Structure 1
Amino acid sequence: MDVGQRFAALHQLVAPLGAELAVLPPDARRAIGVAVGLAEGPAPDQLALTNALIAVLSEAADQDAVLVMVDDLQWLDRASATLFGILARRLGGSRIGLLGVVRTGEGSMFEEAGLAEITVGPLDDEDAKTLLTEAFPELRPGTARQVIAEAQGNPLALIELPAHADPTADEPPLGRTPVGRRLQLTFARRIDGLPAVTRGHLLLAALDATGELFPAIPADELEPAERARLIRVHPVTRGIRFRHPLTRASVVELSTVEERRAAHRRLAELQPAGSERRAWPPCRPWRPTRSAHRPPIRCAATP
């Protein structure tokens, strides 16, 4: 991997600063150019590159104060993360600030940088309702209540989930919560990083929804999901609870049809003989057939 590829985030930061780069001393300009793949030469040492980055940001700050904002610090390339960590500790008293965001439960190279931290919690129900009403004023009360309950204060979920709902429906349909691509990406990295056997257990738990069928699962097969802060496991009953309902929905959405079929067969095998749940069909909105008075059927999660 060449130097420019390693500093992907640095490249995004300095790309709009062409005018400021042009007035830097040659050595500083060359250090950044080599780091981001715009010039050839030996890789610059960390001190030279840090000084060059401060110089280009200082040029921009001559016009107005500069705030460097870095989202998803946990996904930053290692070289850029190290550089930004050093940069942040050298900005005191300047007109340059750095604000980084890391997802709860995720690690980043900034953890040991000694920087001030602010924990941003979920929205409360009132604020969630305000955001949802402003973004989707046509949403019916029943659907809005379900979205607020499923989102649990996650602003992205509050914006994404209604895109898959019928805004004219008085009540939400039966079935699993549809999860859009952006929400899938939020959980996919943690889910995809789990061992296959752990993902299999999570799919069983997601489709079962009771979380109480798995006391015999070895603890070490669930620990990766616990460490990833996807589930809680009861210390006595070994029952599984997802930390966020959208995690459960994402586990199902990220599985294949064959994986879901196999999981449903396994769930049926775990039911005691004669249990009505062995014959539960997948969840789908009930529609009248030949009998207009036929009641809605009970159902399990959609395969």
Structure 2
Amino acid sequence: MANNALFAKPSTSTMLLSDELIVDVWKHYINGESKGTGGSARRLRAIMLFRCLNSHLRDLLLRTPSLWNPIDLSWPSPSVALLLPRPSNENTGSVSAVLDAEEGGNGLHGRRVDNLTTHLSLLSSMEISIRHPPDMENLAIALTGNAPKLHTLVLNLSADVPSIGNLFAAGAPLLRKMSLSPALIIQATPFHTLRELNILVTTFNYPDLLPSLREMPYLQSLVMTGGENSAAIHSDPPPARITFNACRTLIIQGMDIPRARYLSSKIRVPNVIIYRLSPTTTRTASR
């Protein structure tokens, strides 16, 4: 437990310490509290303790996102609202969020959805992990919303969680980086701003992969990793070749040789610097 006496009175102890030192000390304490089972709840308590010690530290907390980033969307809505900047504030800095459907149990599902829906427009990066289909329906609706500041998305879904259609259909004009696992189908949403894509490829999303990539013409890095490849896939008619003039990194890995070669033949990267084709098996697979 931190020594509260060091920070209790802004007129004495805290005036003897620079803001930089106070932030370093509390970062260390908050990070320590976040480890292990129940770490998210303990991290929130540490953050709220810092906020309650005095007015100077409360102001310092609000203008130092590194003390509370990332926001856990399983936290109580009032706590999340206290930490996040007001939408009217143009100098909001970078706001990150995590949503793990396992954290805190299913009883927090409604809270997660409400927090995501309410604060999506303020988030600049987000990591979401969902392992059970019942958790997905309302979250999928929330993820079709407007995300005007989002630049990074990491989405981890278990194999039996259904895909999300119309991801950020209301707009994500700054989205630069996505990591999608497992096999998300990106339906009808162009991502012309996207620069980096890391996607798991399986028989589930393979038929729609190339048409989806066509809506990401300015990719600079594309990593496709194979998942299960048991089903035969036919492309009829075969899609036209896609050219990514800006792409410097293309990696196709972890999938059967015929499928890896087929994808490679359909993607042209004239200015590539890093090119890696790393199939893992010789099992026969249809395109």
TM-score w.r.t. the length of structure 1 is 0.29
Q: Which has the higher helix share?
A: 1
Q: Which has the higher strand share?
A: 2
Higher relative contact order at CA 8 Å, sep ≥6: structure 1 or structure 2?
1
TM-score w.r.t. the length of structure 2 is 0.30
